[in-house]
Structure 1
Amino acid sequence: MKRYRFEDLPDIIGELLLKMNSIEKLLLENKVNNVVADDDLLTISEAAKLLKLSVATIYTKVCRNEIPANKQGKRLYFYRGELLNWIKSGRIKTITEIQLETETKFNSKNIYK
Structure 2
Amino acid sequence: MKEILTFDQLPTAVTMLTQEISELKQLLLNKSRQHPTEQPEQLLTVQDTAVFLSLSVPTIYSKVSKGELPVMKRSKRLYFSRKELLEYVKGGRQQTNAEIESEANLYLKK
Query: Aligned-pair RMSD on alpha carbons?
Result: 1.7
Structure 2 segments unaligned to the other structure (5+ residues): 1-28
Instruction: Determine helix, strand or coil for the equivalent of 2:79.
Output: strand
Q: Which has the larger radius of gyration?
A: 2
Deviation, 1:62, is 0.2
Instruction: Determine helix, strand or coil for the equivalent of 2:107.
Output: helix
- After superposition, where does 1:1-113 map in structure 2 within 5 Å? 32=37, 35-36=38-39, 39-108=41-110
Larger RCO of the pair (alpha carbons < 8 Å, separation 6+): 1
Deviation, 1:50, is 0.6
Deviation, 1:74, is 1.0
**CA–CA distance in 2 between the matches of 1:66 and 1:79?**
14
Structure 1 segments unaligned to the other structure (5+ residues): 1-24, 109-113
**CA–CA distance in 2 between the matches of 1:102 and 1:58?**
36
TM-score (norm 1): 0.63
What fraction of aligned residue pairs are identical, expressed as a percent? 42
Q: Cα deviation per residue 1:20-75 (whole Å; 9 max; x = unaligned)?
A: xxxxx8xx8xx83xx426x1011000011111111100000000000100111111
- 4+ long deviations beyond 6 Å: none
**CA–CA distance in 2 between the matches of 1:92 and 1:58?**
22
Aligned AA (1:79): S
**CA–CA distance in 1 between the matches of 2:39 and 2:65?**
28
